[in-house]
Structure 1
């Protein structure tokens, strides 16, 4: 999954931010995007960073002593050499590497406040953001059209992810990725994961997609306008303008192509919808809701069980496979979702996030 988003950190004081686009399985319990992926906008929060007060205690009282960090970096370099990273890359990438205490603080102190789906959507799907998304869809239509034709991913979904992950490229995070990821690997709770991400980041530098000094992102290493983790960059990054480089920091052609490539490789059904809000019958059995394979039914079967959609336009084929989800474990709001919703969850495992992307895409189409 694409690990560590804009909605993630913009709402960090109310929602739990974590790395989206990773390998964790989607869960209903996650009300917010999983580790920072693709978010600021205030003195308390900046995209990809949780600006929380730093505890007076150090890692020496909780785990590894920060004084051991330089020796640990030397070990990371040895591991990187074994993975094909040359010394020239190591020397430039680790020049000025430092312990990032705020990365540890942010990772350990992610807010756990819960909000309802309606509260979440009210914050991330503002009238102003939807209008900016519509304007961007028109502004970049010439770039988006060929990407959509090749991938089958509708332009509205590409723009919606761009909007949520980095507020249309404006909030990408300013942390030095090599230092941040090295620090999180050193901290040890997810050492193997962050070590893999570090080596992936070094491959990005070695392949000359970006200069080491420009490799910036969130405190957890999510990078660029679509907030890819380094491993996702290597797996899904695409050269949208044919210049031989993949620049998701500055080049919207590459951003759009990479976003579409991610969704396509993760199973996007060309031209398909994500889902629709639904009305459940009073006798609906809650255990029927969920995204497991054995909980899928055709749209026609759901309709026979009394499930109705709140909007009657553009109904899917009655033979289309669908699931019913109830994000808040109560019949307050329910949705009938399709395969593309499950693909959005591979980008970010939060049900709230995936619903917001679908709704923003729908709003742009209206």
Structure 2
């Protein structure tokens, strides 16, 4: 849903064009309201949530016209993890260290990965999107290409409003409905958002403690293990069997097995002598970057099924720690 060369929040930062009238849209919205009423959403919330919304052509255009040209990782990583973002990540890591340390220990997620996700998803909260989430989701559901998915997300967004975590007028996000500083879809919010500062609300838009705790909770539930890192870039022998590459469960092998197959660290040295399974990936082609990745990387893919996203987060986290 959210894979691609840029995150949904970056796309949402583009100029938002005016919504337009669309035959049949109002009747469709009436069916959404009826479904929401049956699910227990109150009339006052429905009135405020759907007030003034119309069909949003740009949301549909964005959904149907994802960028076709794909950068190589050699081109993409420096753009996704520039020096200025690393410097900002380190500054914010130090600034929020006490809260990050507490959250990291509670959810057993290294704080540097929380900050890296924050940076990649929304540029540390600066790019959250300016679309009315209910309007964008209703538009995409009406469009019909992925109606069931967006209709479900609309209901989840209304549930969030019913629970009082944010006012309907303030629920903003990307063209696809991804919200807040961690760019959760509404269903992800329902499943993973956390009240990090214990004020009774799960505020991923303005409250850093909630953003950090929600991101950490997501990773933990996706199988994160803070005993290990995410993986490493490696050198491959020329004769590597390329059928071994991939992140499917049956592609995992131990580091000692990869060592025996000729895979080495980037400096040519032997792989670590650690008893852990890893997957070999080469997202571009046989001449592109290769990585051995661990289960934590799979957790990042659970967040967003893009290798480019997962590697941007991983590289930023490493630079927070090692630079």
- TM bin, normalised by shorter chain, reads over 0.9
Structure that is richer in helix per residue: 2
Aligned partner of 2:79 in structure 1 is: 123
Structure 1 residues 291, 332: closer, same or farther in 2, change over 3 A?
same
Structure 1 residues 106, 201: closer, same or farther in 2, change over 3 A?
same
Residue 217 (structure 2) aligned to one of 256, 261, 264: 261
Is 1:48 equivalent to 2:12 in the alignment? Answer: yes
CA shift, 1:297, in A, is: 0.6
Aligned partner of 1:99 in structure 2 is: 55
Q: What are the equivalent positions in structure 2 for 1:296-311 lying under 5 Å apart?
A: 296-310=252-266
Structure 1 residues 272, 118: closer, same or farther in 2, change over 3 A?
same
In structure 2, the gaps of 5 or more residues are none
Aligned partner of 1:232 in structure 2 is: 188
CA shift, 1:91, in A, is: 1.3
Residue 100 (structure 2) aligned to one of 137, 144, 147: 144
Aligned partner of 1:363 in structure 2 is: 319
Structure 1 residues 94, 314: closer, same or farther in 2, change over 3 A?
farther
Residue 166 (structure 2) aligned to one of 202, 205, 210: 210
Distance, in Å, in 1 between the alignment partners of 2:4 and 2:24 is 37
Q: Secondary structure at the match of 1:319?
A: coil
In structure 1, the gaps of 5 or more residues are 1-18, 21-29, 40-46, 59-64
Is 1:193 equivalent to 2:153 in the alignment? Answer: no
CA contact (8 A) 2:13 2:128 kept: no
CA shift, 1:282, in A, is: 1.7
CA shift, 1:332, in A, is: 2.6
Is 1:326 equivalent to 2:299 in the alignment? Answer: no
Aligned partner of 2:140 in structure 1 is: 184
CA shift, 1:88, in A, is: 2.0
CA shift, 1:314, in A, is: 12
Q: What are the equivalent positions in structure 2 for 1:156-195 lying under 5 Å apart?
A: 156-195=112-151
Distance, in Å, in 2 between the alignment partners of 1:187 and 1:231 is 20
Q: Secondary structure at the match of 1:172?
A: coil
Q: Secondary structure at the match of 1:67?
A: coil
Distance, in Å, in 2 between the alignment partners of 1:126 and 1:237 is 29
Structure 1 residues 338, 91: closer, same or farther in 2, change over 3 A?
same
CA contact (8 A) 1:174 1:218 kept: yes
Residue 245 (structure 1) aligned to one of 179, 187, 201: 201
Distance, in Å, in 2 between the alignment partners of 1:104 and 1:146 is 41
CA contact (8 A) 1:31 1:351 kept: no
Aligned partner of 2:5 in structure 1 is: 32
Root-mean-square deviation (CA, aligned residues, Å) is: 2.0
Structure 1 residues 117, 146: closer, same or farther in 2, change over 3 A?
same
CA shift, 1:67, in A, is: 1.7
Distance, in Å, in 2 between the alignment partners of 1:190 and 1:151 is 34
Distance, in Å, in 1 between the alignment partners of 2:198 and 2:137 is 30
Structure 1 residues 288, 331: closer, same or farther in 2, change over 3 A?
farther
Structure 1 residues 206, 51: closer, same or farther in 2, change over 3 A?
same
Aligned partner of 1:69 in structure 2 is: 25
CA contact (8 A) 1:51 1:102 kept: no
Q: What are the equivalent positions in structure 2 for 1:253-292 lying under 5 Å apart?
A: 253-292=209-248
CA shift, 1:102, in A, is: 1.1
CA shift, 1:315, in A, is: 6.2
Task: Give the TM-score taking structure 1 as reference length.
Answer: 0.83
CA contact (8 A) 1:278 1:334 kept: yes
